[in-house]
Copies of this chain bind each other. A is one copy, B any other.
Amino acid sequence: MDDPTEHSPRLLETVARSCDVIEALEELDGAGVTELAEYLDISKSSAYSYLTTLREKRFVVKADKTYRLSLEFLYLGKTVRHRHVLFEHGKSQAEALADDTGEYVHLMCEQHGLERNIYKVAGENAIGDAYHTAKERKADHLHFTSTGKAVLAYLPEARVEEIIDEYGLARKTENTITDRDALFEELRTVREQGYAVNDEEEINGIRAIGAPIRGNDGTVLGAISVSGPTSRLNDDRYHEILPKKVIERANVTEASINMSTASRSL
């Protein structure tokens, strides 16, 4: 029999709809059968069948007449994070960087063309807790964050084109790079410098510095960043001191990953 992966994939509507139900329960913070049916524009009996099956499989709990996502997702999520190479090798580096700079530090990676938060840690002067917590729960675009640009700079150019085609270059502030050529120019600078900045490109008053974390073969695995108010990320601190610190943490994380790989082939 021939390899199915060589054919263009057949999408399964019911599987996709199951994912929609899960996302809807998150979005609506729980829902009854009728509310869910209306939200997804499906019949009530269909909504009821989805919910009952997901509950049977322990992905959903029911209290009174409201269905909610179960704690199964916390378990799955923790497992995913625990197994992520950047969490395993970068967590202690992120913590040390937050300690050293007093600001917010993030470990991020790209999935499906979007930025995904792996770990965040707040230094003692870190601001914007509510924002970072909210953002942690939403995949966001890559082109206006320091980590996002650090990752884009090391993805194949064709992949970057694909991502821009899919998501566009939405403007967040006056400084956001919304022009394709300007972005590619910026990514060249990132590669030259070895780090990316976010100069009030996402939020007015907030800057960030991010460095890529790359695997043994050069593939970019993600990035680490420090972010904070422009009045603290300025002058030498912005142009020299913090970039050096961030790059060092990225480098230590990479070395730790490589040593771990190497130890397996000893």
A binding-site residues for B, Cβ under 8 Å? 1, 3-5, 7, 9-12, 14-20, 22, 26, 29, 33, 44-45, 48-50, 52-54, 56-59, 61, 65, 68-84, 109, 111-112, 114, 116-118, 127-128, 130-131, 133-140, 172, 202-206, 216, 229-232, 244, 247-248, 251-252, 254-256, 258-260, 262-263, 266
What residues on B are CB-neighbors of A71 within 8 Å? 77, 80-81, 84, 109, 111, 116-118, 139
What residues on B are CB-neighbors of A139 within 8 Å? 58, 71-72, 75
Is the beta-carbon distance between B263 and A131 smaller than 8 angstroms? yes
Is the beta-carbon distance between B203 and A262 smaller than 8 angstroms? yes
Is the beta-carbon distance between B69 and A74 smaller than 8 angstroms? no
Closest 7 CB pairs between A and B?
Answer: A77-B77, A205-B255, A9-B52, A131-B259, A4-B45, A19-B57, A74-B77
Is the beta-carbon distance between A111 and B259 smaller than 8 angstroms? no
A-B contact pairs, 12 of them (CB 8 A): A12-B53, A15-B18, A58-B112, A71-B81, A72-B111, A74-B81, A74-B117, A75-B116, A75-B138, A204-B255, A229-B251, A231-B244
What residues on B are CB-neighbors of A79 within 8 Å? 26, 69, 73, 137
CB distance from A170 to the nearest CB of B (A): 11
Q: What 11 additional pairs, Cβ within 8 angstroms, besides A69-B79, A75-B137?
A: A5-B65, A15-B49, A16-B56, A26-B80, A127-B256, A131-B260, A140-B266, A205-B255, A205-B258, A231-B247, A231-B248
Given A16-B57, A259-B128, decide whether A22 and B76 contact each other with a Cβ distance below 8 A: yes
What residues on B are CB-neighbors of A75 within 8 Å? 77, 116-117, 136-139
Is the beta-carbon distance between B118 and A204 smaller than 8 angstroms? no
Within the assembled complex, what's the spacing in Å between the Cα atoms of A79 and B26? Answer: 7
Within the assembled complex, what's the spacing in Å between the Cα atoms of A70 and B256? Answer: 23
What residues on B are CB-neighbors of A262 within 8 Å? 131, 172, 202-203
Within the assembled complex, what's the spacing in Å between the Cα atoms of A72 and B77? Answer: 8
